[in-house]
């Protein structure tokens, strides 16, 4: 089964062709980073206008790279949420139009569920069904969640951020430190250059009390809060002005450590409280090398195999969309033709 996938939930316009949920024949991505960088973050209207402009050429490239044409495609899959409403509408509408024109099924995909699946796109990874029950950490600019996928093959959120996402925490800190957008890679680079690894600077762990009203049915121990971390960085910089690149690098290292430890500690706890056959990560922040190293330690200690996506499948891409659609696992998508974009979609 050959699936054409389309992704446009935030600031990447992407299309991909994937065979049978595993074999990536092409993965074309146009990133809008250069358009949003001067604003220090994603501007929704700029994003949707750029999606409209770029989606035809990205689709063309995905088909050409895969050496197929529209008539070879068996189904069209697209992200319908969560994400920016005006961005989602572009990709999802394009998918509806294409599926109608070639008279093939339309498969609506949950973006967060696709990030979970992204670790199983590598030829070296086993099929996801062999890693169930699976614990996944999904960390990007818009989401931070710990998810359990059990034998029923349906994801359940165990914990998530109650305020900022991990990527947002990187992006906001980077702005404060004058390191630019996107913040994750910039903070990582500064942290790597820190001679003292941020020792002597400490930021709060962001623990959440069990009576926090935002928790709902979630367990406090598996949830995150990053807005306090951002405030403590602002306070730290006010008290200890950044006077050199070396100062800045040390702060970046301590800040990165705080995020990485918050994420890894929650995962370690979740692994210790359940039975798991696999542990995975996904989303743009899963590119972070300090996080990847810490997750490897956590997995080794818990004796659970770790599956990390290839770098090209960490950030937003359409291969994970087409692959999940073709895998036959996961949430049974609702009847797609009548669906609207769903910015706050959850599961």
Residues that bind ligand KG4 (CB under 6 A): 10, 140-142, 167, 170-171, 182-185, 188, 283-285, 287-288, 315-316
Residue 147 CB, nearest distance to Zn ion (Å)? 14
**For ligand KG4, the closer CB: 10 or 162:** 10
**For ligand KG4, the closer CB: 32 or 304:** 32
183, interface contact from Zn ion, ligand KG4, none, CB < 5-8 Å by kind: ligand KG4
Site for Zn ion in 313-342 (CB under 5 A): 316
Residue 74 CB, nearest distance to Zn ion (Å)? 25
**For ligand KG4, the closer CB: 10 or 262:** 10
188, interface contact from ligand KG4, Zn ion, none, CB < 5-8 Å by kind: ligand KG4
171, interface contact from Zn ion, ligand KG4, none, CB < 5-8 Å by kind: ligand KG4
**For ligand KG4, the closer CB: 317 or 327:** 317
**For ligand KG4, the closer CB: 143 or 148:** 143
Residue 272 CB, nearest distance to ligand KG4 (Å)? 25
Residue 82 CB, nearest distance to Zn ion (Å)? 9
Residue nearest to Zn ion (CB): 140
Residue 22 CB, nearest distance to ligand KG4 (Å)? 21
Beta carbons within 8 Å of 290's beta carbon, 6+ residues apart: 188, 191, 256, 257, 260
Q: Does 171 bind Zn ion (CB under 5 A)?
A: no
Query: Of 118-126, 139-147, 263-271, 302-310, which segment contacts Zn ion by CB under 5 A?
Result: 139-147
Q: Does 8 bind Zn ion (CB under 5 A)?
A: no
Computed from CA positions of residues 199, 226, 224, 315, in that sequence, does the dihedral angle turn out positive or negative? Answer: negative
Residue 167 CB, nearest distance to ligand KG4 (Å)? 2
**For ligand KG4, the closer CB: 2 or 249:** 249
**For ligand KG4, the closer CB: 159 or 283:** 283
- Convert the chain into a string of H (helix), E (strand) and C (coil): CEEEEEECCCCEEEEEEEECCCEEEEEEEEECHHHHHHHCCCCHHHHHHHHHHHHHHHHHHHHHHHCCCHHHCCEEEEEEECCCHHHHHHHHHHHHHHHHHHCCCEEEEEHHHHHHHHHHCCCCCCCHHHHCCEEEEEECCCCEEEEEECCCCCEEEEEEECCCCHHHHHHHHHHHCCCCCCHHHHHHHHHHHCCCCCCCCCCCCCCCCCCCHHHCCCCHHHCECCHHHHHHHHHHHHHCCCCCHHHHHHHHHHHHHHHHHHHHHHHHHHHHCCCCCEEEEECHHHHCHHHHHHHHHHHHHHCCCEECCCHHHCCCCCHHHHHHHHHCCCCCCCCHHHCCCCCCCCC
Residue 11 CB, nearest distance to Zn ion (Å)? 10
Peptide linkage before 82 cis (omega within 30 of 0): yes
288, interface contact from ligand KG4, Zn ion, none, CB < 5-8 Å by kind: ligand KG4
206, interface contact from ligand KG4, Zn ion, none, CB < 5-8 Å by kind: none
327, interface contact from ligand KG4, Zn ion, none, CB < 5-8 Å by kind: none
Report the C-alpha gap between 58 and 139 in whole angstroms: 25
40, 111 contact by CB (below 8 A): no
Q: How many residues does the chain have?
A: 347
Residue 202 CB, nearest distance to ligand KG4 (Å)? 20
Q: Does 140 bind Zn ion (CB under 5 A)?
A: yes
């Amino acid at each position: 089964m050959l699936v054409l996938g389309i992704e446009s939930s935030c600031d990447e316009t992407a299309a991909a062709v994937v065979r049978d949920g595993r074999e990536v024949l092409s993965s074309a991505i146009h990133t809008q980073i250069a358009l949003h960088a001067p604003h220090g973050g994603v501007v929704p209207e700029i994003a949707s206008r750029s999606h409209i402009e770029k989606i035809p050429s990205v689709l063309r490239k995905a088909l050409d790279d895969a050496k197929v044409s529209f008539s070879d495609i068996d189904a069209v899959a697209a992200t319908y949420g969560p994400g920016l409403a005006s961005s989602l509408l572009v990709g999802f509408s394009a998918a509806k139009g294409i599926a109608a024109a070639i008279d093939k099924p339309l498969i609506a995909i949950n973006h967060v569920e696709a990030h979970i699946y992204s670790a199983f796109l590598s030829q070296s990874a086993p099929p996801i069904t062999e890693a169930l029950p699976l614990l996944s950490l999904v960390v990007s600019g818009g989401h931070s969640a710990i998810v359990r996928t059990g034998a029923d093959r349906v994801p359940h959120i165990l914990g998530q951020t109650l305020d900022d996402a991990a990527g947002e925490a990187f992006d906001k800190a980077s702005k404060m430190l004058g390191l630019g957008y996107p913040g994750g890679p910039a903070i990582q680079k500064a942290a790597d250059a820190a001679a003292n690894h941020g020792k002597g600077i400490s930021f709060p762990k962001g623990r959440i009390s069990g009576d926090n009203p935002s928790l709902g049915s979630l367990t406090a121990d598996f949830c995150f809060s990053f807005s306090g971390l951002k405030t403590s960085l602002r306070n730290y910089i006010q008290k200890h002005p950044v006077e050199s690149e070396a100062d800045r690098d040390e702060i970046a290292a301590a800040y990165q450590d705080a995020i990485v430890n918050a994420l890894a500690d929650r995962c370690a706890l979740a692994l210790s409280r359940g039975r798991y056959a696999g542990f995975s990560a996904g989303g743009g922040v899963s590119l972070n090398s300090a996080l990847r190293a810490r997750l490897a330690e956590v997995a080794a200690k818990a004796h659970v195999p770790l599956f990390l996506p290839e770098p090209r499948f960490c950030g937003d891409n359409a291969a994970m969309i087409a692959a999940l659609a073709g895998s036959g696992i996961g949430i049974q998508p609702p009847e797609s033709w009548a669906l609207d974009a769903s910015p706050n979609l959850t599961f």
